[in-house]
């Protein structure tokens, strides 16, 4: 099975921590030239230093705030001018939690711009290079809420579903060029975002963090949180030549937690 990414350029978004950073590490280990994107330059420099780099392999970064559309567009077009990008990993922090009845129209607009519009800008910028290569992998890190809406995540549930629909539509249009588009749906993964969610939930329910953790873990058939590297490994497979006939899918990596088939 061919999972080598030698010589391929990969753009990994939100790659200073969590699933994004874990993905960059795995792709670099498979030989990819990784271009990291995030808004925190110091974090990007620290992330680059953690990537495996063999002879002839080169990693770099580009700063961009995903809530600033023009800034993001400028950054990805500069990258696409220098390199034909073979792999794009779309990954952005989720919208703020809360019931949908408490969300304002601005909450939806901001989330739509940051997630769907941002993903679209990135994808359309790298598509010409992928067509030239005859090889492309667009992988969107979304959420299991695509399959089953999650409590207290009204805006996120709405926007994540829209991203999944966009991705399926895109996959149908670019498949002829041997470009695949797939979604990864992480479950409860041991990241800084999950720790923040647990802390906020505990505060809202006036209970302790350990109680919330135990309740969450009890909902997972594998009885543990996922690790960022476990998500990254599935992303790496989808990015590889081995996944050449997998497209238009949403793959859950959640320890079996999502009740839908």
Give me the chain's average pLDDT, please. Answer: 95
Which among 86, 93, 88, 87 is positioned nearest to 19, based on CA atoms?
A: 93
Per-residue pLDDT, 14: 95
pTM of the model: 0.96
- pLDDT band of 5, cuts 50, 70, 90: very high
Residue 95 has pLDDT above 90, yes or no: no
Average pLDDT over residues 108-118: 95
Half-sphere exposure of 241 (CA within 13 A, CB side): 13
For 200, residues 6+ apart whose C-beta sits below 8 A from its C-beta are 97
- CA triplet 21, 162, 120: central angle to 5 degrees? 60
Write the pLDDT tens digit of every residue in 169-181: 999 999 999 999 9
Which among 161, 11, 1 is positioned nearest to 72, based on CA atoms?
A: 11
Write the pLDDT tens digit of every residue in 7-40: 999 999 999 999 999 999 999 999 999 999 999 9
Average pLDDT over residues 52-69: 94
């Amino acid at each position: 099975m061919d999972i080598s990414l030698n010589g391929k350029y990969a753009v990994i978004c939100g790659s200073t921590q969590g699933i994004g950073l874990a993905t960059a590490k795995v792709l670099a280990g498979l030989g990819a030239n990784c271009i990291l994107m995030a808004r925190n330059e110091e974090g990007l420099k620290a992330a680059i230093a953690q990537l495996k780099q063999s002879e002839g392999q080169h990693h770099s970064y580009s700063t961009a705030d995903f809530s600033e559309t023009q800034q993001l567009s400028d950054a990805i077009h500069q990258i696409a001018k220098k390199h034909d990008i073979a792999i794009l990993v779309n990954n952005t922090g989720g919208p703020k939690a809360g019931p949908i009845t408490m969300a304002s129209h601005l909450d939806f607009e901001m989330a739509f711009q940051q997630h769907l519009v941002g993903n679209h800008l990135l994808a359309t910028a790298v598509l010409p290079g992928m067509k030239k290569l005859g090889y492309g992998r667009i992988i969107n890190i979304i959420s299991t809420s695509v399959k089953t809406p999650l409590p207290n995540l009204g805006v996120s549930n709405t926007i994540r579903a829209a991203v999944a629909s966009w991705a399926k539509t895109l996959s149908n249009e670019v498949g002829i060029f041997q470009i695949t588009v797939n979604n990864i749906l992480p479950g409860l993964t041991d990241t800084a975002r999950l720790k923040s969610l647990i802390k906020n939930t505990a505060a809202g329910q006036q209970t302790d963090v350990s109680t919330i953790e135990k309740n969450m873990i009890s909902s997972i058939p594998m009885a543990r949180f996922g690790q960022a590297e476990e998500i990254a490994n599935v992303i790496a497979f989808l990015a590889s030549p081995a996944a050449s006939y997998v497209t238009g899918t949403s793959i859950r990596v959640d320890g079996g937690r999502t009740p839908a088939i």
